[in-house]
Copies of this chain bind each other. A is one copy, B any other.
Amino acid sequence: MDCFNLIPCSADQPHESDILLTQTLKRWAETEVMAKRLEFREDQELLIKPAIHQLFVDFEMQKLLFPEEYGGVGLNRPEVAYTLALSLEQVGRADTGIGFLFAVTFALCSSFAMDYNLNENLCRQLAPLFCHSGRRTIGSLVLPGYDSEIKPGSRTLFHGRSYPARAKQLGDKLIIEGSNLQPLNAGCDADLFGVLCLLEGSDKPALVVIPAESRGLHRSAPQTRTGLAASVNCELKLDQVEVVEANVVFRGETGWQQLLSWLYLGMSAVTVGSLFAAYEILREWGENRVIKGKNSLLKDNPLTASVMAEVSQELLIDRLLLHQLAAIMAGRGLEEPAQAKKISIAALSVVSQITNSAEKAINQAMELMGSAGYATEWNLERYWRDVKTMQLHLGSWELNKMDLAGFFYRSANL
């Protein structure tokens, strides 16, 4: 039985096209990724890269948001939230890291290709890459993190952090400077970066799109991480990088809130999909593992069943939240500032709830599976590492809560 059918995902039925896409992705997940997992594990060449190519290029996912006139699929309306939630559930079930790559790529595109913020110049500039190149195109984001020293320029902070880079306007060009930039994902493979910059002479955040091949963009050696093998990361240095003004996709808080809302929706869907996979692994284990002392199956013992039930309850709750968030975002509220703020707060709350509960649930599933949960062979440990790693890329929950406090209590200077 398809485990997705166990949980009502929303009141009204999904669109026909979404159902078809979901089925395609499900087939891809099972034949191209999950079936090959035991043999290839997390091998880049043999498993991850081919799978990414199919997803991004063959299934046209990377051009989802591009208007048709640029060769895209043209789903660049907020209603695409339903499509994103349903499809990334499937991708996340196959491989959390691949889902993460797509979620970020999608979020970056949403900052210039949506009907409410359509940036014709940039679409024209990037269409060849996304719609006609025939090769997978990965987008990455560079957002503010902790400072490793107190920067001189850090008088202007953004949500308590200093900007990863600074941009200077020169005619219709911008010159971008920054060092030790830590991209959210795929620093080594990304084709373009959306970098949050401080524009000289402005105190507004601006997202600048920088193609990876730009002169002056330097990459450090790859980093090793706990999980998300599909996202090979590194640090960036921006040395007098030059882009045209059209590459500034937004200025100010509203664009920021819209960007985060899409990013959070995508990461939520990937996490729910990964949790589905963990649930399936646990279910199979529970149906076969005998508790000898009790001569009963794991699933039939009240204590182990109660832990298994908690895993499924977390999954159910998380999925309801995911699709409720999708419905809210599809409601076009994002377009007006007041609503955008409110929705981005809901998105932050939802993605935090989902990633935290997934961490808890997979931890519990591993407990029940004992050493099998720890052995690579059973795959559960990979979802455990991947989901946790993705959660960390949301930023610290303690500090994200400062945004919630600002919204719900008008807290200041947090």
Q: Are B345 and A306 in contact (CB under 8 A)?
A: no
The answer to whether residues A352 and B414 also contact, given A320-B346, A328-B8 and a CB cut-off of 8 A, is: no
Q: Are B10 and A401 in contact (CB under 8 A)?
A: no
Closest to A413 in B: B300
A284-310: CB near B (< 8 Å → 1, else 0) gives 001100000000000110100110111
Bound form: Cα–Cα A64–B312 in Å: 35
Bound form: Cα–Cα A302–B159 in Å: 13
Q: Is A44 an interface residue (CB 8 A)?
A: no
List, in ascending order, chain B residues with CB within 8 A of A200's CB. none
Closest to A302 in B: B414
The answer to whether residues A310 and B401 also contact, given A327-B11, A346-B8, A353-B317 and a CB cut-off of 8 A, is: yes
List, in ascending order, chain B residues with CB within 8 A of A352's CB. 313
Closest to A339 in B: B8
Q: Are A308 and B405 in contact (CB under 8 A)?
A: yes
Closest to A283 in B: B409
Bound form: Cα–Cα A279–B404 in Å: 13
Q: Are A283 and B411 in contact (CB under 8 A)?
A: no
List, in ascending order, chain B residues with CB within 8 A of A308's CB. 405, 408-409, 411
List, in ascending order, chain B residues with CB within 8 A of A321's CB. 317, 320-321, 324
Chain A 370-403 interface residues, beta-carbon cutoff 8 Å to B:
398, 401-402
Q: Are A11 and B330 in contact (CB under 8 A)?
A: yes
Q: Is A88 an interface residue (CB 8 A)?
A: no
Bound form: Cα–Cα A310–B356 in Å: 13
Q: Are A405 and B306 in contact (CB under 8 A)?
A: yes
Q: Are A405 and B342 in contact (CB under 8 A)?
A: no
Closest to A398 in B: B306
Most B Cβ at <10 Å: residue of A312, A323, A412: A312
A310-334: CB near B (< 8 Å → 1, else 0) gives 1011001100110111011011010
Bound form: Cα–Cα A331–B13 in Å: 10
Q: Is A12 an interface residue (CB 8 A)?
A: yes
A343-376: CB near B (< 8 Å → 1, else 0) gives 1011001101100000000000000000000000
How many copies the complex holds: the figure is 2
Q: Are A331 and B283 in contact (CB under 8 A)?
A: no
Q: Is A19 an interface residue (CB 8 A)?
A: no
Q: Are A409 and B287 in contact (CB under 8 A)?
A: yes
Q: Is A6 an interface residue (CB 8 A)?
A: yes
List, in ascending order, chain B residues with CB within 8 A of A409's CB. 283, 286-287, 299, 305, 308-309, 312
Bound form: Cα–Cα A349–B12 in Å: 20
Chain A 1-27 interface residues, beta-carbon cutoff 8 Å to B:
6-8, 10-12
Q: Are B6 and A317 in contact (CB under 8 A)?
A: no
List, in ascending order, chain B residues with CB within 8 A of A317's CB. 321, 349-350, 353
Among B300, B320, B331, the residue within 8 A (CB) of A11 is: B331
The answer to whether residues A411 and B320 also contact, given A8-B328, A330-B11 and a CB cut-off of 8 A, is: no
The answer to whether residues A8 and B343 also contact, given A312-B404, A317-B321, A321-B324 and a CB cut-off of 8 A, is: yes
Bound form: Cα–Cα A414–B286 in Å: 14
List, in ascending order, chain B residues with CB within 8 A of A353's CB. 313, 317
Q: Is A410 an interface residue (CB 8 A)?
A: yes
Q: Is A407 an interface residue (CB 8 A)?
A: yes
List, in ascending order, chain B residues with CB within 8 A of A331's CB. 8, 11-12
List, in ascending order, chain B residues with CB within 8 A of A412's CB. 299-300
Closest Cβ–Cβ distance, residue A322 to chain B (whole Å) = 10
Interface CB pairs A-B, < 8 A, 24: A8-B342, A8-B343, A10-B328, A11-B330, A11-B331, A12-B331, A279-B408, A299-B405, A299-B409, A299-B410, A300-B413, A300-B414, A302-B402, A305-B409, A305-B411, A305-B414, A306-B402, A306-B405, A309-B401, A310-B401, A312-B408, A313-B349, A313-B404, A317-B349
The 8 closest A-B pairs by CB, nearest first: A309-B401, A11-B327, A312-B408, A305-B405, A309-B404, A324-B324, A309-B405, A299-B409
